[in-house]
């Protein structure tokens, strides 16, 4: 089973670069299942029904969220109609689910959305909750388990790998938007601290530069805006899983505006 994961899709530029490249990459790399983070898909903040329908029509199979999940209130209806989930460790009573169990080529896959602690909204302990979830998935004999850990702290993501290496298929970090170069396979678990954004590449984390610079210089609040024109980047992580759910190969696929997709990094094997 070949999974392609796309980190935070940021606004219209992110959706456009996915439209230009996703189906092409699905065919070139024989991808079976595509997971993407919708967190910033609607003008940089949350997701709407319209943008969700657009993204699913482009070849995405399931979508995960994060701290901007609730920025568009219509998200709740998407939980009922689409393969859309939200962080599993939100407090009890929150709409939606944090685990999606789907079927790919006759095999079950569990997609788990988790949110970290540091600088993030109120959540329950991601580590103890994840222990319970993995235990339950193993009891159900689900071997293909994918985790999107949406968090600021690299240490939290590293700790998650050390806790679950060999027990889950892949762990991908999202939220910080700047991809890291630590793609690896550790004990049969594919891992990267940050998958990186899909969208504008020549501003500040997918947004324009003016507002962040003003904020950093003055300490004053400024509303971030997704540029209408920019250099766009597509970046995804491919995880090749065997029948036991172990990751046997992993690599990054990238593309820029009008540039043929290319493999930019192969995973380090422990």
Mean pLDDT of all residues in the chain? 96
Distance CA 100, CA 116 (A): 19
Distance CA 112, CA 167 (A): 14
According to DSSP, the β-strands at 262-266 and 144-150 are unpaired
Which of 7, 17, 14 has the alpha carbon at shortest distance from 258? 17
Structure tokens at 52: 């969700």
Share of the chain above pLDDT 90, in %: 95
The residue extents of the domains of the chain are 2-269
Residue 159 CB neighbours (<10 A): 15
Q: What is the pLDDT of residue 127?
A: 97
Q: What is the pLDDT of residue 142?
A: 98
pTM for the model stands at 0.97
Backbone angles phi, psi at 137, to 5 degrees: -65, -35
Q: What is the pLDDT of residue 258?
A: 83
From the candidates 68, 82, 175, 177, which is the catalytic residue? 68
Tokens 């657009």: give the residue: 54
Which 8-state DSSP code applies to residue 255? E
* pLDDT per position as a tens digit, 7-64: 999 999 999 999 999 999 999 999 999 999 999 999 999 999 999 999 999 999 999 9
Distance CA 173, CA 66 (A): 11
pLDDT, mean of each 10-residue run, the chain (270 residues):
98 98 97 98 97 98 96 95 97 95 97 95 94 98 98 97 98 98 98 98 96 95 93 98 98 94 94
Q: What is the pLDDT of residue 89?
A: 97
Is 68 part of the annotated catalytic residue set? yes
Structure tokens at 88: 């599993």
User: Which residues have C-beta within 8 Å of that of residue 229, sequence separation ≥ 6?
Assistant: none
CATH class of 2-269: alpha beta
Q: What is the pLDDT of residue 111?
A: 98
């Amino acid at each position: 089973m070949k999974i392609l994961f796309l980190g935070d899709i940021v606004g219209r530029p992110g959706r456009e670069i996915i439209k230009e490249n996703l189906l092409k990459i699905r065919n070139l790399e024989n991808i079976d299942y595509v997971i993407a983070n919708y967190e910033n898909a609607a003008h940089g903040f949350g997701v709407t029904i319209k943008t969700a329908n657009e993204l699913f029509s482009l070849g995405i199979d399931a979508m995960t969220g994060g701290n901007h999940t609730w920025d568009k209130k219509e998200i709740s209806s998407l939980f009922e109609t689409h393969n859309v989930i939200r962080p599993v460790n939100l407090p009890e009573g929150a709409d939606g689910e944090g685990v999606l169990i789907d079927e790919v080529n006759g095999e079950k896959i569990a997609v788990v959305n988790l949110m970290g602690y540091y600088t993030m909204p109120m959540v329950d302990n991601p580590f103890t909750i994840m222990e319970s979830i993995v235990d339950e998935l193993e009891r159900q004999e689900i071997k293909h388990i994918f985790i999107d850990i949406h968090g600021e702290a690299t240490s939290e993501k590293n700790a998650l790998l050390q806790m679950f290496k060999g027990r889950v298929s892949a762990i991908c970090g999202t939220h910080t938007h700047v991809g890291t170069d630590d793609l690896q396979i550790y004990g049969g678990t594919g891992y990267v601290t940050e998958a990186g954004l899909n969208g504008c590449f020549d501003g500040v984390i997918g947004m324009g530069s003016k507002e962040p610079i003003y904020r950093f210089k003055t300490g004053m609040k400024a509303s971030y805006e997704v540029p209408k024109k920019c250099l766009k980047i597509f970046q995804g992580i491919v995880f090749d899983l065997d029948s036991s759910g172990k990751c046997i190969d992993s690599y990054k696929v990238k593309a820029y505006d009008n540039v043929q997709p290319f493999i930019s990094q192969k995973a380090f094997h422990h």
